[in-house]
Structure 1
Amino acid sequence: MNSTAIANKHIVILGGGTAGWMTANLMAVKWKNQNVQISLVESPAIGTVGVGEGSTPQLKSFFDQIGIDEKEWMPACHATYKNGIRFNGWSSREGFESYFHPFASRIDAFSAPALFYNSMHRRKGVNIECHPDRFYLSAKLAQQHKSPIPDHNFPFPIGYGYHFDANLLGQFLSNLGVSRGVKHIQAKALDVGMHANGDIANLHLDNGKTISGDIFVDCSGFEGVLIQQTLKVPFVSFKENLFNDCAVAIPSPVSQPLRSETISTAMKYGWAWDIPLTNRVGNGYVYSADYCSPEQAEIELRTKLNLLDSEVEARHLKMKIGRVEKHWHQNCLAVGLSQGFIEPLEATALHFVQETIEGFIDAMNNSNESDSVCIQHQVTFNQKMNQRFEGIRDYIVAHYRLSSKDDTDYWLANSANPNISDQLKRIVNGWMGAEDITQIIQQAKIPSYYPPFSWLCILAGYGIFPKQLSDAPKDSAAHKYDLNYVDDFIQRCSLNFQDHQSFLDLHF
């Protein structure tokens, strides 16, 4: 049996933060029997971006893989649970000014089919209820400020994410990685040495030392020191699709009751996040510099938070929206902001990090020492990651392109933006033509980066239905589902979940 291509290799990670230390920890666990040496080079002077502080459910699987219980990391990072995201003010259509996007759960099989069915009939002109909030247990849990962890006697686990302090999470993972054998080198890379074949050979550090490696992981942030600056991999901008390129963040005092949802509120030139932690609320405003100055954005956010006279410091950030053409090139893997970034609207940043690391680990485990085998895995890997970026880009673009908000030139430009993909056009046209959303995605072979229920939530949540609706008799096919039963089912299920704050106090 051939040995894997990773055996006995030295992996050098440039950059720490959440991306770097997630990479180090996952590789250390997955390759603990391969005699792999892992070194992480990190400059103490360079901070982390930490935009957002929210996750998708995939982060739970990361901690499961590295064997860390929630009781170990959540209190250390002021973490809370996240049932999903509420979108306020993105639609001006009556009755659809707000909607909730849940995470998928098995329990949805008992209530969500009614939403799929009703939305089909409403698109055909029948006046029937199909606001997504009514059909998902997670929406009810968020509304009631409840934890997504059920009592023991409720046999249906609920999908959930987290809110957390990104800097503290990076520190936690750093300590964990070092305890598991990762060599932590606190220094800045001044120069990059190269092999004749175009591979990276070593890093020359500001402490006078040189570190050599077999594989290099670029976690250097938007600078992309290895993948972009050294290896000259081109960057594909998403500027024509997504206008937002800046953010301003301001913390505010912890609020009660402790919510279990992220809130995204449409603003004049972008949107604001509202993320509850146990010690504070993380707030930020993601906006476009083409339409709004940093000073304007800060004033608008402070006004929203009633912090105009506060001395709490605002943190201004610039974002580079897009992706590299190749995420794995030569002997270098780009992870995190160095490989690309789609604005934090759906909290996908750490999802990309995790998927990149896991995909790379799988590819290396399935490769042997043959260069041709490894190159083929590299090509496949890059194709998958690019498709992933573009698929999630399309879903984020849909939030802007389909919004009915029209009170500024920014929102009017978004609504009229012609730069949308054929895949997004197919989904929207199919929706407007009253086609089955699941069949649209399957027949068009659209990669399911966001499943049908996610598309249903945004399209129905925005109230994109015919203006002229007619009532149907109660005994007609349109009224197949008894919505009183759906309401009762979800309410009774919610009785099996505790108040969010009470759950954290009891278990952590």
Structure 2
Amino acid sequence: MIKKIVILGGGTAGWMAANILAKRWAKYSVEIALVESSDIGIIGVGEGSTPQLKSFFDYMEIAEAEWMPACNATYKTGIRFCNWSTKPGFENYFHPFPAQPDDYSAPAFFYNCFVRRKGADVYAHPDKFFLATYLAKHQLGPKPAHHFPFQLGYGYHFDSSLVGLFLKQHAAKLGVAHIDARITEVKLDAQGYISHLLTENQQPLAADLFIDCSGFAGVLIQQALKVPFINFSSNLFNDSAVVMPTSAAMDITPQTTATALNAGWMWNIPLVNRIGNGYVYSSNYLSADMAETELRQKLNLLDKDVPVRHLKMKVGRLQHHWAKNCLAVGLSQGFIEPLEATALHLVQETVLGFAEAIELGDFTDREQANFNRSINQRFEAVRDYIVCHYRVNSRTDTQYWRDNANNNSLSDSLRELLQVWVGGGNLTQEIERQKIGCYYPSASWHCLLAGYGLFPTQDQLLPGNEVAHKYKMENIENFISRCALNFSSHREQLNDLVAKQQVM
């Protein structure tokens, strides 16, 4: 039985792990301590999430009105991609989070994608088929009126530093101890397991389980236990970022915007108090100064003294995430660039998956291999989806985009998905065959590939017959617009959270 856990490193990953395990293993009286040095900063730029983050706060029984206003958080119904494609009519598209009403409209989208790939001139751009897309376009929040009995998946935008602080305070209520100290040495026992950590004051911190949340350094898992790191640079070129905030917008759109630039892409994330901006790029194609200049130009801040932060990214994953008596969580276990905001999702899946695996193994390492295999499969699936964004781009204006489009360092899974799409096959069946729909469902893959306009050229398309025009777009648009009547403005929903917080 695990009686004591030491977590090295705070930030959102460390405090999320502390909260999950403190709640899940409260009945076992497990002692949990998190050690971090106030002298060491955190990266703290991840400001977006997938819908899975809501399940974390639901699991922790933390209401949105309790945490969102405290973290300047807003809602997110999906991601708009701009200028990744040069195909006429497909320069922009929206990747929506799922909603129950999509069960009515998504089949029409899948069908139109299928027959357009066969040569029929039908409408197959994803933006008119999904409720979440409509909400973002019209700045409506994702919380429906009580009389609309259908669920909508949504994520959040937030200040990651404030989320870390909030979770730190919540963990304290659950009995998690906080130790402000710098670790100077990691001691192993004769079997190669971690026996204890030594602080700069020679204080030993012993535990049954150590969780490495020390960031890219991987102090425990990589430096002490020597677990190999698998680099993803062969098909994910970006390794750097420059970050710059700007003033808050009057109208807060519930979407992340990812705009393609010369050697990467720029994010725009609206918070209550500011807009988060950043340029993710490859240092092999662009210097840090050039990246900062390009970002300032895009934000019209070239001549203004706005502070920036320059960051380096270590993109890849560990060979094993659970080794000996150590679990790696967050940046220490790996990182896939932030295009789809998957960082906290991977943290959540790792911690919960570990808890389930070790419980299934009666608190032994019996399920260790299965757990590591599962997390690696998730990392690979996320990587494939993000690599696809670069591989299918049609830009030719810079060497960066040309090299991405010509990059054949693809997994067998991604290669087979693209072959099915281009060959006019059934993409949903291929996703089911590969058993990867639990990572990204068919709708996500259809939105990506159709959103880039990967269809026969306009001069190759034929008008089609009644079979091709099975679905009438006016009926789809009418259905979605009427569903949206049940949603209030995003700003109004954020104001409601503040009002609820004040009476809690």
- Using the size of structure 1 for normalisation, the TM-score is 0.96
Contact 2:139 2:253 in 1 (8 A): yes
Structure 2 equivalent of residue 418 of structure 1: 408
Contact 1:441 1:448 in 2 (8 A): no
Structure 2 equivalent of residue 52 of structure 1: 46
What runs of 5+ residues in structure 2 fail to find an aligned partner? 499-504
Task: Give the Cα separation in 1 of the matches to 2:115 and 2:151.
Answer: 31
Task: Give the Cα separation in 2 of the matches to 1:19 and 1:445.
Answer: 28
Structure 2 equivalent of residue 397 of structure 1: 387
The ranges of structure 1 where at least 4 consecutive aligned residues each deviate by more than 3 angstroms after the TM superposition are 444-448
Structure 2 equivalent of residue 84 of structure 1: 78
Contact 2:267 2:278 in 1 (8 A): yes
Identity, % of aligned positions: 55
Contact 1:391 1:447 in 2 (8 A): no
Structure 1 equivalent of residue 502 of structure 2: none
Task: Give the Cα separation in 2 of the matches to 1:141 and 1:39.
Answer: 42
Deviation at 1:447, TM superposition (A): 6.0
| Secondary structure of the structure 2 residue equivalent to 1:368 | coil
Task: Give the Cα separation in 2 of the matches to 1:436 and 1:90.
Answer: 25
Structure 1 equivalent of residue 463 of structure 2: 471
Structure 2 equivalent of residue 102 of structure 1: 96
Structure 2 equivalent of residue 379 of structure 1: 369
Structure 2 equivalent of residue 164 of structure 1: 158
Deviation at 1:93, TM superposition (A): 0.2
Query: Where do residues 43-442 of structure 1 align in structure 2 (5 Å cutoff)?
Result: 43-368=37-362, 374-442=364-432
Task: Give the Cα separation in 1 of the matches to 2:82 and 2:103.
Answer: 26
Task: Give the Cα separation in 1 of the matches to 2:497 and 2:220.
Answer: 43
| Secondary structure of the structure 2 residue equivalent to 1:479 | coil
Contact 1:406 1:412 in 2 (8 A): yes
| Secondary structure of the structure 2 residue equivalent to 1:226 | helix
Q: Alpha-carbon deviations, 1:114-134, whole Å to 9, x = none?
A: 000010000000000011010
Amino acid at match of 2:119: G
- Using the size of structure 2 for normalisation, the TM-score is 0.97
Amino acid at match of 2:491: Q
Contact 1:81 1:147 in 2 (8 A): yes
Contact 1:241 1:420 in 2 (8 A): yes
| Secondary structure of the structure 1 residue equivalent to 2:285 | coil
Task: Give the Cα separation in 2 of the matches to 1:434 and 1:507.
Answer: 47
Structure 2 equivalent of residue 504 of structure 1: 494
| Secondary structure of the structure 2 residue equivalent to 1:375 | coil
Equivalent residue in structure 1 for 2:475, among 476, 485, 492: 485
1:237/1:261 CA distance change after superposition, 3 Å: same
Structure 2 equivalent of residue 494 of structure 1: 484
Contact 1:149 1:158 in 2 (8 A): yes
Contact 1:423 1:446 in 2 (8 A): no
Task: Give the Cα separation in 1 of the matches to 2:365 and 2:25.
Answer: 21
Q: Alpha-carbon deviations, 1:21-50, whole Å to 9, x = none?
A: 000000000001011000000110112212
Amino acid at match of 2:27: N
Deviation at 1:479, TM superposition (A): 1.2
Q: Alpha-carbon deviations, 1:323-348, whole Å to 9, x = none?
A: 01000000000000000000000000
Query: Where do residues 9-48 of structure 1 align in structure 2 (5 Å cutoff)?
Result: 9-48=3-42
Task: Give the Cα separation in 2 of the matches to 1:246 and 1:329.
Answer: 29
Q: Alpha-carbon deviations, 1:304-359, whole Å to 9, x = none?
A: 00111121101000000000100000000000000000000000000000000000
Q: Alpha-carbon deviations, 1:227-263, whole Å to 9, x = none?
A: 0000000000000010000000000000121110000
